[in-house]
Amino acid sequence: MKQIKVLGTGCSKCSKAADIIEKIAAELRQPVTVTKETSPEVIMQYQVMRTPAVVIDDQLVHSGSIPLRADIESWLK
Amino acid sequence: MFEIFTRMADWLAYELPGLSPTSKAGTALHFFIEDSSKIFVLLLVMIYLIALVRASLNVERVRNYLAGRHRGFGYLMGSGFGAITPFCSCSSIPVFLGFTSAGIPVGITMSFLLTSPLINEVAVLLLLSLLGWKFTLLYVLIGMTIGMIGGLVLDALKAERWLQDFAARALEQGQARATDSDNSADNHQPVMNLQQRHQFARDETLEIFGRVWKWVIIGVGLGAALHGFVPDNWIEQHLGGGQWWSVPAAVLLGIPLYSNATGVIPVMESLINHGLPAGTTLAFCMSTVAASFPEFILLKRVMRLRLLALVFFMLLIAFTLVGWVFNLLTPFI
């Protein structure tokens, strides 16, 4: 099961990013756990400066915006 | 060039509903239609063009550029990049930490973060179209100066003492790395072609427009209300003399009010037209834009209370000085 973390200090775009990833995962019937990471210290460790950012199984895959549907689908496959 | 908006507003506010150009309701409606239509068209066209040019500039590049720079130059560059780099205020914590962990001194990082909300392309465009180029130039110079001096003062006071522990450690590690080797150049930044630039500019335009249109409506609405419903000579009679206390009062009033630059500039236009001295107006508006409680609460996660209080009072003093100096200089501009 993929562990997905959405990094962000709590802005509305970050929750939207987490919601859309969960929604698409459900559509594709992919089992995932999506968590929101708001700790500045953890975000710093991933060297992310633009939020929301997405980390899948500890790999940073995206940063700076709500990800596009096509990107999310490709990460989940 | 902007006459078309005035004519459209004449038609929509006076001729169509039959309101008189001397009536309160008529002038308020006219102000609202003229300013909001002008601002919307300008924003759409100009944000796109500017985004096209600066598509490849982002906070990662700025960080790599600032890391390991000479200090004196650093404040100027920090503040300059703060003015031109696109970045959303909800990213200010990650940006602060990103800069800090690259070993960039707190003062230079703060030059970037203080200038950023004050000056951006939208603010400059609005100032140019509503208040003219002289005012715009002064606004930009003052905004950058506040950023630079703020950074210098923070470094002179060794503000890094008052970071939260993890941020202070990150700064130390970053600085140790920076002296080890020359800073890593931005080698993983791909070159953008025109197609990608267009895509970026389109997304950026929609994103910024989506974020600021409400502010424009609110700001122009307030400006129109001032225009139409505050008695004509009230502001001029009570505050027009640039009384010394009116400037700190304006700053104190402005700090808890939060707006972004887009919303506040139409209000500035209206206040100035009503005889509020330019310095007082500027002090009020800069304090609503640069200092906000939500932002301070966010910054609390990386700064100790002492540093936050220091930044707060520094801004308070800076905006008050700006207001006074500007009011003194107005007769000579």
Number of H helices, E strands in chain A: 3, 4
Contacts B203 to A, Cβ<8 Å? 65
Which one has a higher pLDDT value, B16 or B167? B167
d(CA B24, CA B10): 14
Q: Where are the beta strands (DSSP E) in B142-292?
A: none
Mean pLDDT rounded to a whole number for chain B? 82
- Predicted pLDDT at B73: 84
Which one has a higher pLDDT value, B331 or A21? A21
- From the number of C-beta atoms within 10 Å of its C-beta (0-12, 13-18, 19+), residue B134 rates as exposed
Structure tokens at B115: 């200038």
- Predicted pLDDT at B333: 62
Contacts B167 to A, Cβ<8 Å? 40
Q: For the residues B38-61, what does the mean pLDDT come to? A: 84
Rounded percentage of chain B residues whose pLDDT exceeds 70: 92
* pLDDT tens profile B128-161: 888 888 888 988 999 999 999 999 999 999 999 9
Extents of the domains making up chain B: 1-53+194-213, 54-191+230-332
Lowest mean pLDDT among A4-18, B239-253, B302-316: B239-253
Q: Which of B279, B283, B223 is nearest to B255 (CA)?
A: B283
With 60 as the cut, is the pLDDT of residue B211 above it? yes
Could you tell me the sign of the dihedral formed by the alpha carbons of B210, A51, A61, A38, in that order? Answer: negative
- Predicted pLDDT at B11: 83
Q: Which of B122, B83, B70, B151 is nearest to B315 (CA)?
A: B151
- Predicted pLDDT at B86: 67
- Predicted pLDDT at B187: 46
CB contact under 8 A, A40 and B94: yes
- Predicted pLDDT at B15: 77
- Predicted pLDDT at B1: 66
B98 shares contact with chain A (CB less than 8 Å): yes
B297 shares contact with chain A (CB less than 8 Å): no
Which one has a higher pLDDT value, B20 or A46? A46
With 60 as the cut, is the pLDDT of residue B185 above it? no
Contact B284, B251 (CB under 8 A): yes
Contacts B298 to A, Cβ<8 Å? 9
The CATH class of the A2-76 domain is: alpha beta
Extents of the domains making up chain A: 2-76
With 50 as the cut, is the pLDDT of residue B183 above it? no
d(CA B306, CA B203): 40
Which one has a higher pLDDT value, B236 or B325? B325
- A-facing residues of B in 155-184 (CB < 8 A) are 166-167, 170
Which residues of chain A fall short of a pLDDT of 70? none
Distance from CA of A19 to the nearest CA of B (A): 18
A51: nearest CA in chain B? B91
- Predicted pLDDT at B203: 84
